[in-house]
Amino acid sequence: MIDKLVRENIVSLRPFSSARAEYEGDADILLDANENPFPTAYNRYPDPYQKKLKKEISKWRNVDPENIFLGNGSDEIIDILVRTFCEPKADRIRYVYPSFGMYEVVADINDVEKWPIHLNKQFDIDVEHALRDIDKSDKILFLCSPNNPTGNCLNYDSIHTIIENFPGIVVIDEAYIDFAESPSLIGSITERENLVILQTFSKALGAAGLRVGMSFANENIVRYLNKVKPPYNIGSIVQNNALEVLQQIKQLNQQIQLIKSERDELKNSLLDLEIIEHVFPSDANFLLVRFKGNPTVILEYLRDKGIVVRNRSKLPGCDRCLRLTIGTPLENKSLVQAIREYS
């Protein structure tokens, strides 16, 4: 089934064959890649398939290495997915809306049509709407759960119904899954050959600067993504640093617990303030908050106090809303204090 969804030029593509992909032994004298022979921490090309890193991710997430594809951030994976499956000027992506802006941008860059699936008042997905008027050109459907910027997880039964009935690839962006109560859908990749799970080092793992995105999928999908990706898309320093991050999962889990309890505390403190109209439920490391005043004025007031938050008030269903990332306990206190003074 996957072969039929992939662009024809990608099916027949002969990928670039890099020196480091062709030779994988441990010879002493490497004269195959035109590298500078004098050793530094980075004179050699990195492993194009990031095998060591995938092995550790595989143990951590309990997924076979063959089912893992890594990118220079999830952003790169989203782009590679679109370029693998969507024919420019012919195919279409679907995506929940409001959500993460990259799905639209990547579609626009690749000249691929886009069809937003508007979320309902509770920011949840309507299955009928998502599956309406599907044709062969609908190649990828992006669901984001927990969703950015609304914070909620999408309904599980709805997601499953969509995976079963959507004829193309269903991508679940789980960038915030480690902050959620509900489990990842990663376990379903072995049963659903059209499912791709996206995760990232950028949020819960505290490594946004590294640029490592993870995806988990059927090995046929992984094989095609490997054909399309730039040969050395993740540098060796980054691969090594990512391995170090995974050795600190215990401490990171404690941070995640702290961020979650700060999220609840921040919500309660905000609800005590007159100017706050509503705080939306969050399964992520941010809160979508509706203010009674003008959000742009409040945003600028906070910026003058040295606090930067995100204005999301132009998005449907998000009028007068700012998105507040959960900071350290001290930062959250300063935020509440500043808003209290504004009130």
Q: Binding residues for ligand PLP, per CB under 6 A?
A: 73-75, 100, 144, 148, 173, 175, 200, 202-203, 208, 213
| Smallest distance from ligand PLP to CB 246, Å | 16
| Smallest distance from ligand PLP to CB 143, Å | 10
Residue 284 in 3-state DSSP? coil
The alpha carbon torsion through 73, 76, 82, 84 (nearest 10 deg) reads: -110
Q: How far apart are CA 323 and CA 149, in angstroms?
A: 7
Sheet strands (E) in the chain: 68-71, 92-97, 113-118, 138-144, 169-173, 195-200, 213-217, 276-279, 286-291, 310-311, 321-325
| Smallest distance from ligand PLP to CB 97, Å | 13
Residue 170 near residue 194, CB atoms below 8 Å = yes
**Cβ-proximal residue to ligand PLP, closest one:** 73
| Smallest distance from ligand PLP to CB 52, Å | 20
Q: How far apart are CA 203 and CA 262, in angstroms?
A: 16
Task: State the DSSP string of 33-95.
Answer: S----S--TTSSPPPTT-HHHHHHHHHHHT--GGGEEEESHHHHHHHHHHHHH--TTT-EEEE
| Smallest distance from ligand PLP to CB 202, Å | 3
- What amino acid is encoded at 45 in this protein? Y
Nearer to ligand PLP, 74 or 194 (CB): 74
Nearer to ligand PLP, 74 or 313 (CB): 74
Q: Give the number of other Cβ atoms within 10 Å of residue 305's Cβ.
A: 15
| Smallest distance from ligand PLP to CB 201, Å | 7
Nearer to ligand PLP, 109 or 208 (CB): 208
Residue 159 near residue 146, CB atoms below 8 Å = no
Nearer to ligand PLP, 75 or 104 (CB): 75
Nearer to ligand PLP, 174 or 262 (CB): 174
Task: State the DSSP string of 110-142.
Answer: TT-EEEEEE--TTS---HHHHTTT--TTEEEEE
Nearer to ligand PLP, 148 or 332 (CB): 148
Query: Token digits for 225?
Result: 């993504």
The alpha carbon torsion through 277, 281, 287, 292 (nearest 10 deg) reads: -10
- Return the closest-CA partner of residue 146 out of 171, 175, 120, 119: 175
Q: How far apart are CA 309 and CA 307, in angstroms?
A: 7
| Smallest distance from ligand PLP to CB 48, Å | 19
Nearer to ligand PLP, 246 or 273 (CB): 246
The alpha carbon torsion through 326, 290, 98, 207 (nearest 10 deg) reads: -10
Residue 213 near residue 75, CB atoms below 8 Å = yes
Nearer to ligand PLP, 81 or 175 (CB): 175
Nearer to ligand PLP, 43 or 182 (CB): 182
| Smallest distance from ligand PLP to CB 108, Å | 17
| Smallest distance from ligand PLP to CB 57, Å | 14
